[in-house]
Amino acid sequence: MRAAFTGYFGLCAYEPRCQLLSSGAGLRHAVVAALTVFVTSLTFAQAAIAQSFPLKPIRLVVPFAGGGVTDVMARLVGGEMAKHLGQPLVIDNRLGAGGAIAAEFVAKAPADGYTLCFCTTGPMALIPILDPKLPYNPLRDLVPISHLHNVDNVIIARADLPANTIAQVVALAQASPDKITYGTPGIGGPQHLSGELMNSMAGIRLLHVPFKGEAPSITDLMGGQIDLVFASVLAAMPHIKSGKVKAIAVPHRTRAKLLPQVPTVAESGYPGYEISNFVGINAPVGTPAIVIDRLYAAVAVAISTTAVQERMISEGLTPVGSRPEAYADFLRSEHDKWTRVIKQAGLTRQ
């Protein structure tokens, strides 16, 4: 081996091309040329992946049972994406742990673009903060594809509550700390934390009353057992129309399309108050960027269709469809906001 090594350089001493390589400039030239070839090959390989992807059906993991709004939207959006991608998106309902089981499953799946999460606020922005021992971290283990839509919520009050605005609710709470109650579908969810954010920003103490779902909380509200409910617009609408409850404000940046007459909390004297009960699509970390781009393109086409837009609005949803970079920024800001709120409220996962 040594003889061959010596012989090569002995021969190289008489070759002009080897003398060029032995100089600093020649070596740099060779390295640049090699890198150019490598990058070009990689570019062609990525282009080939993009052109061929997908070659088989894609699994879209939904963290809730079939028949609910989240499942319905996953099937609708997935069906439109399939038209663009040329492969079906197969819905996989994986229930449990508030959505964390579905998110963890996707986080640990092969990073090839064939397993996606129809992820919601809980497993993406709340549960990982409430439970630091969770076996996945959404900011580290799940790659953003698109912030798909927001679920419109509304703060409703019993019909005879002596308050019709957020300012009046705050005044009641200031006069009677821990006496004004609000119901939500459970501890640690977006609606619960909406109330905690209100407590933090207004300097009041609304008393949280958790229920096993929205319907029981609204029933108790109409019966006068509690004062307020942080509910989805879809669940609250029939009771608002009947006059059995009254809408106080919506907790989002903009007014809900189904309740355009109801002001936002920010408009009502608390600028900066904003809740995003959201749904997005994510893939396992390590999924090639060119595949993420291909998937986002399919989302963009799907969410721009009239059928999807109209169905979202009718279900009390606000379409978003942001790019991966914007979705990543949004997730970081949600993590920072809810970390502060949860820490201040001293909450942990039950």
Q: Where are the domains of the chain?
A: 62-150+278-345, 153-249
Determine the topology of domain 62-150+278-345 in CATH: D-Maltodextrin-Binding Protein; domain 2 (3.40.190)
Determine the topology of domain 153-249 in CATH: D-Maltodextrin-Binding Protein; domain 2 (3.40.190)
Q: Do domains 62-150+278-345 and 153-249 have the same CATH topology?
A: yes
Where does the pLDDT of residue 347 fall: very low under 50, low under 70, confident under 90, or very high at 90 and above?
A: confident
Sheet holding 58-62, edge to edge: 89-93, 58-62, 115-120, 277-284, 142-151, 317-319
Answer whether 153's CB lies under 8 Å from 191's CB: yes
The strand pair at 317-319 and 142-151 is best described as antiparallel
Whether pLDDT at 332 is above 70: yes
- The CA–CA distances, whole Å, from 26 to 5, 11, 33, 35, 97 equal 20, 18, 10, 14, 60
- The CA–CA distances, whole Å, from 114 to 59, 160, 170, 186, 211 equal 6, 52, 48, 33, 37
User: pLDDT, tens digit, for every residue of 37-84?
Assistant: 555 544 544 555 556 899 999 999 999 999 999 999 999 999 999 999
Percent of the chain scoring above 70 in pLDDT: 85
User: pLDDT, tens digit, for every residue of 97-143?
Assistant: 999 999 999 999 999 999 999 999 999 999 999 998 999 999 999 99
